Each structure stands twice: as C-alpha cells, then as structure tokens.
Amino acid sequence: MLGELTRAGILALARPTRSRKASMVSKHRRQVALRRLHESLVDLISFTNLPRGDEELIAEAGVVLDQALFRLLVGVERFGPISVGEIAERTDRDHTTVSRQVAKLAELGLIERRSSPLDKRVKEAMVTAAGRRVTDALDAARMRLSTPVFEHWSDRDLLELERLMRRFADDLLSMSAMPKETDT
C-alpha cells in the first residue's frame, strides 16, 4: 500500500546515507570551526586589552593622553553624540567614573557636551575638532602598527577577512538589539 513503510524500508531510512554522513561530518566541522573561532576571539580580545598595546599606540600617535581617556575619546568619536549612560553601558564602566572622565575630556577640549535633541535633560558627548585630530592621529598610528601583520596576506585574504569580520560584527550587533525572550 502506498504510504506504508515496511520494516526493511524503515531500516533503510535509519541507515546513514551518503548525504547524512556528509551532514554529520559538516556538523562536526562546524562545531570545531566555531570552537576555534571562539578561541581566536578570546586571543584577540586578550591582545587588544593589553595595557602595553595602548601605550604603544598612544606613543606612536604622538599624543599625550591617559589610557582610560584615550579609549573613552575613541568611543565618543565612533558612537557620538552619545550620553554618559550609553558610554558606561558600552564600556561596562561605572556611570560616575565615566562622567568624571567625560568631564576631564571636556576640560582638555577634546569633547563637548550638549543637550540631547530628543531629551533636553540628557547631556551627550561629541568630539571637538581637537578631539578629532587626536582620534585621526590614533587611527593613523593604528594603521602603521597593524600594517606589518598583513604584509604577507594576499589582497583577497585581507578583503575576505574584512568582509567576514564586518558581517560577524553586524550579526552580533543585530542579535544584541533583539528583544530578549521573557519567561511567562
């Protein structure tokens, strides 16, 4: 009868076929790749969080700026205008500490604070022309310091890394923007 399965038919379905075997191998390879990707990310984060890297970058840029302020200034330049609360959230720092550091950057003339156009009670930080010169110097120094890493990479490999890193970052950002599921 059409639609009925015999015992032999059921056993045949249960046997791994070439495509099922390939799928299992593919799943294993994917798990290994994801584990290695995670390890690479941990290595990169560990490397970028080394204080000597910041010191080297600041020295290469020829700017005089405290490391904590340097990271904050770069964040304001990349994401600003931005509120102190948003900066604290992005950097996982205490609101009071960030507020004090933003005030110091304003005192140095590297950022300015203004009322948010959306909510006048909220002050937003944005870089000044002087702050932009500092972040431009830091960007140029970052390029000089990272160029040797990629000297032996082909243009194709470098472009592929850039494309995939951007895709990865965009996907992570879009996932973090999704509403969290709540228990009901």
Please indicate, yes or no, if residue 5 is contained in any of the structural domains. Answer: no
Residue 122's domain comprises 68-145
Please indicate, yes or no, if residue 52 is contained in any of the structural domains. Answer: no
Please indicate, yes or no, if residue 55 is contained in any of the structural domains. Answer: no
Please indicate, yes or no, if residue 127 is contained in any of the structural domains. Answer: yes
pTM of the model: 0.73
Give the integer Cα–Cα distance in Å for 89 and 75. 12
pLDDT, one tens digit per residue, over 74-117 is 999 999 899 999 999 988 889 999 999 999 999 999 999 998 88
Give the integer Cα–Cα distance in Å for 143 and 28. 37
Please indicate, yes or no, if residue 90 is contained in any of the structural domains. Answer: yes
Q: Which of 137, 147, 131, 141 is nearest to 82 (CA)?
A: 131
Examine the pLDDT at 181 and tell me if it is beyond 70.
no
Please indicate, yes or no, if residue 27 is contained in any of the structural domains. Answer: no
Note the pLDDT of residue 16.
Answer: 58
Please indicate, yes or no, if residue 128 is contained in any of the structural domains. Answer: yes
Considering its fold, how many domains does the chain have in total?
A: 1
The pLDDT confidence band at residue 183, using thresholds 50, 70 and 90, is very low
Q: Which of 121, 133, 142 is nearest to 73 (CA)?
A: 133
Residue type, 21: K
Tally the residues of the chain.
184
pLDDT, one tens digit per residue, over 52-79 is 888 999 999 999 998 889 889 999 999 9
CATH at 76: 1.10.10.10
Please indicate, yes or no, if residue 76 is contained in any of the structural domains. Answer: yes
The pLDDT confidence band at residue 176, using thresholds 50, 70 and 90, is confident
